[in-house]
Structure 1
Amino acid sequence: MDRKKVSVIGAGMGGLSAAIELVDRGYDVEIYEQNSEPGGKMERIYVGGMPLDVGPTLVMMPEVYEEVFTKVGRDPKDYIKFREVNPMYDVYFAEDYRSYRLNSDLIDLMKIAEGFGDGSDEGFLSYLADIYKRYKIALKYFIRRPFRHKRDIYNPNMLIQALRLKTFDSAKNMMAKYIPSKDLQEMLSFQTLYIGVSPSNGPSLYNIIPMIELLYGVWTLEGGMHSMAEAMARLFLELGGKIHYNSKVEKILASDKKVKGIKIGDNIVESDIVISNADFPYTMNELIDDDSIKGKYTEKKIDSMDYSCSCLIFYWAVDGVYDELAGHTFVVSKDLDKNLEQIFAGDLLEDPSIYLSIPSKLDPNTGKDNKSSFYLLIPVPELGVKKFDYDQKTVDYFREKALEKLVNLPGLADLRNKIIEEKVYTPYDFEKKFSAYRGATFGLQPTLRQSNHWRPQSKSLACEGLYFTGSSTHPGAGVPIALEGGRICAKEVIKDYY
C-alpha cells in the first residue's frame, strides 16, 4: 500500500476513532481541530476550580469504549478507568414530585413495575424481551455496517432484517402498547432525548437506549468524560499520528470530483483522503463550495432536513455536599407531551423538563473544599425553529424555571443562595464553538427517514477520497455510536485505499 495522506477535520469521537484505526493500519494521518483540546462537545471547562464536562455526562456500553484500545493491541486500563453509577438516576415528576430511584438490579426494577398494579410488570418484561431481540439485530446488521449503495439495504436478507426491527412505530407508541402505567412509560421513553429526538417521533428501535441502561448499567469515567478524549488523543499520538489544535479548516479542496486537500488560513494541506468529523450539514454548507461534489446534499436539501433539539446548560459551583441526591436526576414536566411538542415546534417552553448531574458526586476527586459541581441541562429548540432569542432575558427565564423545580428536591431548598459561580452554554455556543449546524446539539434527528441507509453515509459517492463521520452521519449520535461511526468510516477508507 502506498502511504496515503489522510487529513481529519475535527478531534471529536468519530474523528479520533477513525484516525486511530487508520494510523494503526499504516496511513499518514493528521487531525486538524479548531479548538485547543480534543473531544469536540466532550470538552472540559472549570467552574469554581472544579472540572465539568461540557457535553456527555455518562457512559453506556463501556465495551465500545474499550474496543478503541483493544483493537490496536492496547490495554484500556492503561488509558481509562470506569466507575459504575448505582443508583443510575432518580426520576421526579413535577406534578407532585413523586419519585422513583432506578438501578440495573432486576429485583428492584420489578418492585417498581409491580408497584403500579396494572399489568405494567408483565408489560415491562415483555418490552425488555422484545427490544433486546431487536437490539441484537440492529447491532449485527445496521449499527456496525455502512450503506454505501442501495443494494446494501435493498436485498432480500437486509429487507427481512429491517422488517424484524419493526421500526415503523414510534418509541412512545411502542412503550404504551406494553406498559399501562404512564409514569413507567415516560421513565422508559424520554431517553430518546439523549440523541435529540422526541419519543413521539423517534422510531421504536430507540427504546434500546433505556434497555441498555437497565440490562448493562450506567457508568462514568474517572476524571470525567473528557478523559476519554484525552486518552484517545494520547493513543493516536503514540501510534504516530499528529494533531494540530487551534486549526480551523475553512474549505475542503477538490477538482474533477477528487479530493485534493484542505485550506487552513493561507495554508493548503494536500491530502489523498479527507475525513470530515465536522457536523455533516455544516461540512456541506460551509466547507464545500463546489455543488458538483455535494451530491444530493445541496443547501436546499440540508435546510429542509429535520434537526435534533439543542441544549441550554448551566454549569454551577455550589456550596455544600448533597448526599441525598443521586448522581443523575431527571425532573419530568407536568405535561411531557406538551413539553416535547414545544421543543420541536420552537416555542418558548412553559414547563421544561430538566436533567441534573453532579459530577463531584460521581467522581469525588473532582470536588473542592466542601463544594459541589452541578450540571443542569434543559432540552430546548434548535436555532432553525426557535420563535424567540437566546438572549440574557431568555437565559434568566430558563434558569428560574429550573430553580423552581430543583428547590423541591432533597437538600436543595436554599439552592438559589448556594450557587457560587456559573457558566452557561446556549445553542449559539454549540453553533459557534462546535460548528453544530443550527445549534442542534445532536445533529440530524434520527427519525425513520433520517436513519440507517437514509442517513448521510461515511463515503461520498460524489467525490473520490472524501469521507464523513460524526453525529449527523450513520449510525448516529451518542458517544458509543459516534465511536462506531468512526470505525465504519475507517473501514470505508481501507476498502478503497488498501
Structure 2
Amino acid sequence: MSRVVVVGAGLGGLAAAARLAAAGHDVTVVEQSDAIGGKLGTFRRDGFTFDTGPSLLTMPYVLEDLFAATGDPLASVLPLQPLETACRYRFPDGTVLDMPGDAGAIGPALDTALGPGRGAQWSTFLDRAERIWDATHEPFLESPITLRDMARLSRRLTDVRDVAPWQTLRGLGASYLHDPRLRQLLDRYATYTGSDPRRAPAALATVPYVEQAHGSWHVPGGLHRIAETVRDRAVERGATVRLSTEVVEVVTAAGRACGVRLADGELLAADVVVAGVDAAQLYGRLVPPDPRAWRTAARLDRSRSLSGFVLLLATDALLYEHRHHQVLFTDDYDAEFDGVLGPRGRRRPVEAPTVYVSSPGDPAMAPDGAEGLFVLVNAAPHDPRGGVDWDEPGLADEYAEHVLDTMARRGFDVRPHLRWREVRTPADLGRATLTGGGAIYGSSSNGPRSAFLRPANRSPVPGLFLVGGSAHPGGGLPLVMLSAEIVSGLVGPS
C-alpha cells in the first residue's frame, strides 16, 4: 500500500483521492482552508445559498465514470437535473435567444430567434466541431499530453485538416457563421477556458459541441454538492481529509518527492504527492528551488487566464421570466477581451462588459418568494504591479454599481428588489484559492501550442503529480475530473 498525500481539496484533488483510495492506496488530503471545493465554492447567508464558482455541469458522463470506478453509481448518491433551456442570450440589437438544452431543438430555436438559415449555419459548424472532438479528445483530453501526441496527429492528414491548428476559434467560426450574433455566441465559448477567441485555437470549437451534445445540468441544492459527494466517496474508500492544514513545502529526497511539510512544521511522509494547487504556486513556492520550476512558474504568470468580478445578489422577489442562465452581451466584445487579456499595461475594468447571470430557481437555494443571483463579468487578473489593482480603495464598490447599472440598461434591473449584495473581486478569489491573480483557469488557451504549454500531470520531480484546472487538460469541472483520472492511471494500483 503506497502512501499518497493530496495537496488541495478542490474537485481535482478530491477526485484523485477517491480514485487512488479505491485503488488501495493510503490517501491523506490536506487543504489550507476550512472548507472543501476550492473554486467549486459556496456561500450561505440568510437562507440563500450561492454557487460561487461553476454554476453549470456539462459532460456529466465524466462524473458518472468517476463514481462507477470507485463504487456505487452516481445516481445512487447525487441526482442531476437537465435544463430545458441551457441559457437565455440577449444580443446588443435586442434579440433574445433561448438556447434549448435538447440538441435536437437547437436548430429550430436559432431559426425562430435569429432568422431562417441560422440553425443550418450552427449545425454545419458543429459538424466540424464534432470531427475535431473525434480527433482530439482521446490524445489531448483523456491521456497525458506529450509531443508524441502531436506527432501521431500530424501523421493523420485528415485529422490535421479538421483540427486546423493554424486557425483561431474566431477564424474558424467566420468560415461557417455569417450572422454576427452566431459569431458572438461562439466567441463566448473561448471564455470557458479563460481565453481570447482571436488567439485561442480552433480546437476550442469542441466546447460548444460537447455542451450541446451532452446537455446542460444542474445539481439540486447547488453544484457544490458535487465536491461534497466526491469527498464522501473518497472517505468511504479510506481517505482522510484534513482541513485548515497549510502545506509550505513539497519535500524531496534523492531527487524524488517523499512528502510535504506543513506550516506547523509537521512532516507528512509519502511515496506519492498529488498537487491539486495552482501550478504557478506549486512551481514558484512549494517545490525545491530548480531552474525548470522557476521557468515554468514565470511562464504561467505571463499567460494567466482571465478572472471574474462577482456579485452575489439576494432579492426579495422572483424576477422576470425565469431562466437558469442568462447572458447579456456587450456591443463591443473586442474591447472586453482587450481589457481583460490585452497587454499588461492596458488591462482595465471593462466599461461595457458582457454580464452572466445565474438564477437556479432551486427552492433549496433561496427562501420562499426570493431569489439569489450569481452575477459574473470577465475581469483582468489582480495585478498591482502593472495591471489592475482590485484592492484599490473604492474600486470594488464603484465597479459593482457600474455592473448593476449595465444590467439595468440591458433590461435586467434588480436594484428595486435588492436585499443585500456580496462583492468578490479577482483579488478575493486569488486569496481564497491561492491562485495567482485570481486567474480562474490558471493559464489561458491562447495560441496553437497552448495544449502543450499547460503543465503536465507528471511533474519533472519523480513522485510528484498535478491535478486541477491549472494542469493538463485544463479548467472546468469535466476536465478537472479527467486530470484526476489521468493521474490515477499514472500512479497505478497499490
**TM-score normalised by length of structure 2:** 0.92
CA drift at 1:290: 2.1
1:339 pairs, out of 336, 339, 342, with 336
What residue identity is the alignment partner of 2:453?
W
Which residue of 1 is the match for residue 321 of structure 2? 324
Supply the distance in 2 between the matched residues of 1:379 and 1:114 (Cα, whole angstroms). Answer: 29
Pairing 1:249–2:250 present: no
- The residue matched to 1:42 in structure 2 has which SS? coil
CA drift at 1:398: 2.3
Which residue of 2 is the match for residue 136 of structure 1? 134
CA drift at 1:402: 1.9
Instruction: Sort the Cα spacing of 1:449 and 1:430 in 2 relative to 1 into closer, same or farther, 3 A.
Output: farther
Which residue of 2 is the match for residue 365 of structure 1? 364
RMSD: 2.2
Would the aligned equivalents of 1:9 and 1:278 in 2 still touch at CA under 8 Å? yes
Equivalent runs, 1:43-82 vs 2, <5 Å: 43-82=41-80
Which residue of 2 is the match for residue 102 of structure 1? 99
Which residue of 2 is the match for residue 443 of structure 1? 442
Q: Name which of structure 1's ranges 336-345 and 51-60 shifts more when overlaid on structure 2.
A: 336-345
CA drift at 1:17: 1.5
Which residue of 2 is the match for residue 181 of structure 1? 179
- The residue matched to 2:470 in structure 1 has which SS? coil
Which residue of 2 is the match for residue 452 of structure 1? 451
- The residue matched to 1:133 in structure 2 has which SS? helix
Instruction: Sort the Cα spacing of 1:278 and 1:444 in 2 relative to 1 into closer, same or farther, 3 A.
Output: same
Which residue of 1 is the match for residue 20 of structure 2? 22
What residue identity is the alignment partner of 2:133?
Y
Q: Name which of structure 1's ranges 40-49 and 115-124 shifts more when overlaid on structure 2.
A: 115-124
Supply the distance in 1 between the matched residues of 2:471 and 2:48 (Cα, whole angstroms). Answer: 33
1:206 pairs, out of 204, 207, 210, with 204
Please, which runs of 5 or more residues in structure 1 have no aligned partner? none
- The residue matched to 1:324 in structure 2 has which SS? coil
CA drift at 1:299: 4.5
Deviations 1:236-262 (A, max 9, x none): 000011000111111111133111211
Which residue of 2 is the match for residue 171 of structure 1? 169
- The residue matched to 2:440 in structure 1 has which SS? coil
- The residue matched to 2:96 in structure 1 has which SS? strand
CA drift at 1:171: 1.1
Would the aligned equivalents of 2:284 and 2:293 in 1 still touch at CA under 8 Å? no
Deviations 1:464-483 (A, max 9, x none): 11111111111001000100
Pairing 1:145–2:139 present: no
Deviations 1:15-37 (A, max 9, x none): 11111111111111110011222
What residue identity is the alignment partner of 2:228?
E
What residue identity is the alignment partner of 1:175?
G
Instruction: Sort the Cα spacing of 1:221 and 1:298 in 2 relative to 1 into closer, same or farther, 3 A.
Output: closer
CA drift at 1:61: 0.8
CA drift at 1:387: 3.8
Which residue of 1 is the match for residue 311 of structure 2? 314
**Number of equivalences:** 485
Would the aligned equivalents of 2:107 and 2:119 in 1 still touch at CA under 8 Å? no
CA drift at 1:489: 1.2
What residue identity is the alignment partner of 1:243?
V
Q: Name which of structure 1's ranges 149-158 and 308-317 shifts more when overlaid on structure 2.
A: 149-158
Please, which runs of 5 or more residues in structure 2 have no aligned partner? none
Which residue of 2 is the match for residue 391 of structure 1? 392
- The residue matched to 1:29 in structure 2 has which SS? strand
CA drift at 1:167: 2.8
- The residue matched to 2:43 in structure 1 has which SS? strand
- The residue matched to 1:407 in structure 2 has which SS? helix
- The residue matched to 2:167 in structure 1 has which SS? coil
Deviations 1:166-220 (A, max 9, x none): 2321111111110110011112331221221121121111122222232322111
- The residue matched to 2:486 in structure 1 has which SS? helix
Supply the distance in 2 between the matched residues of 1:109 and 1:156 (Cα, whole angstroms). Answer: 32
- The residue matched to 1:448 in structure 2 has which SS? coil
Instruction: Sort the Cα spacing of 1:123 and 1:76 in 2 relative to 1 into closer, same or farther, 3 A.
Output: same
- The residue matched to 1:260 in structure 2 has which SS? strand
